[in-house]
Structure 1
């Protein structure tokens, strides 16, 4: 029996790298890999492939390819970017009308796949919106946000990206993400949205079930007000925001959060949940 030319895992990595390249990526990439690394192609050889060698090989086949695109292809080849063969589609929201769930809050969750908390607010391309009460968790909306590339930093462009995300969160009181930078946390709190970082990720409904336990116990006064149960309680917001949000979160003791990157000298203070 003939052995395959490439192990399936390596074939997948090369295929993903080729797909990341412009034009007929596989036809362009394979001769370059054979020229630079020789046959047989192995995991060790791919891991040792450098950006400079990939760019200059094949008479400069990829010399004009944008650096970001070539780095992404190289990340697949080296195994530094984990392949995601099939992403679970976004779940179907359930019908919801204003007033359906008295005493509830609106919670946004950064989910890249299905209903898992697996993304950063700074790079979020979509948000799931849940209505959460003591008795029920209901998915009511799936909101796309402006796509971006690269790593978030503390630049005017990154601030604009956060503003684009905040614009679709005007009716939410909390946001869950796997990672949150100090800058993003501060932006959310200025908009009156409580940021919750969950570095371990996990299923959104499991995390929201934990939040329900807080609501059934002794939630913080600001949560009671948001639920319409405390003094000066705020009315429930419409389902969709119509403009960029503004405001500030209540001052209270800090609660734990993780930072995806330190973008300010001191971490933002967050109101406590309980």
Structure 2
């Protein structure tokens, strides 16, 4: 599963989603994690009510299951959740690798229901359809 981090320094979750200079994206499983890409943002990122600046960030995280942020505005959070991405706010700057280590431990155990749900993001739903006749002879 892919996890995104709002970051100014590429080391810690230390940025408001709308103001972040970088979004670091990692792939994580119970066995390992690795860095996939950093998406960088330029221009005027300060709080200004301009919702259009969120569009490139939302595009960058569209395949992610979780987004870690230092803060996120209400409309940004609503748009992230609408994309079936689970936003998680950290209370103070936290190292990305520390978060990944903790998340990996959770994945090795029994993840909570919300995490099991987001882990399936992008997975194809498989339905088994049986012919009525096959079922009647079973």
The TM-score with structure 2 as length reference comes to 0.77
Other-structure match for 2:16: 120
110-119 or 187-196, which moves further after superposition? 110-119
Per-residue CA deviation, residues 69-97 of structure 1 (Å, 9 max, x unaligned), is xxxxxxxxxxxxxxxxxxxxxxxxxxxxx
Per-residue CA deviation, residues 92-128 of structure 1 (Å, 9 max, x unaligned), is xxxxxxxxxxxxx100111111311111101112211
Answer 1 or 2: higher relative contact order, Cα 8 Å, separation at least 6: 2
Matched position secondary structure for 2:60:
coil
* Residue 168, structure 1, aligned to residue 57, structure 2: no
Aligned positions, number: 124
More strand per residue: 2
Q: Return the alpha-carbon distance in structure 2 between the equivalents of residues 134 and 149 of structure 1.
A: 35
Other-structure match for 1:130: 26
Q: Return the alpha-carbon distance in structure 2 between the equivalents of residues 140 and 146 of structure 1.
A: 20
Other-structure match for 2:70: 178
Other-structure match for 1:201: 93
| Alignment match of 1:234 (pick from 105, 119, 123) | 123
Q: Judge conservation of contact 1:123–1:152 (CA < 8 Å) in 2.
A: no
Q: Return the alpha-carbon distance in structure 1 between the equivalents of residues 63 and 30 of structure 2.
A: 19
Question: Where in structure 1 do 4 or more consecutive aligned residues deviate above 4 Å?
Answer: none
Q: How much is the aligned-residue C-alpha RMSD, in angstroms?
A: 2.2
Per-residue CA deviation, residues 45-68 of structure 1 (Å, 9 max, x unaligned), is xxxxxxxxxxxxxxxxxxxxxxxx
Q: Which has the larger radius of gyration?
A: 1
Q: Return the alpha-carbon distance in structure 1 between the equivalents of residues 114 and 46 of structure 2.
A: 36
The TM-score with structure 1 as length reference comes to 0.41
Task: Give ranges in structure 1 of 5+ residues lacking alignment.
Answer: 1-104, 236-274
Task: Give ranges in structure 2 of 5+ residues lacking alignment.
Answer: 125-138
Q: Return the alpha-carbon distance in structure 1 between the equivalents of residues 56 and 46 of structure 2.
A: 16
* Residue 142, structure 1, aligned to residue 34, structure 2: no
Q: Per the alignment, do residues 122 and 193 of structure 1 end up closer, same or farther by CA in structure 2, a change over 3 Å counting? A: same
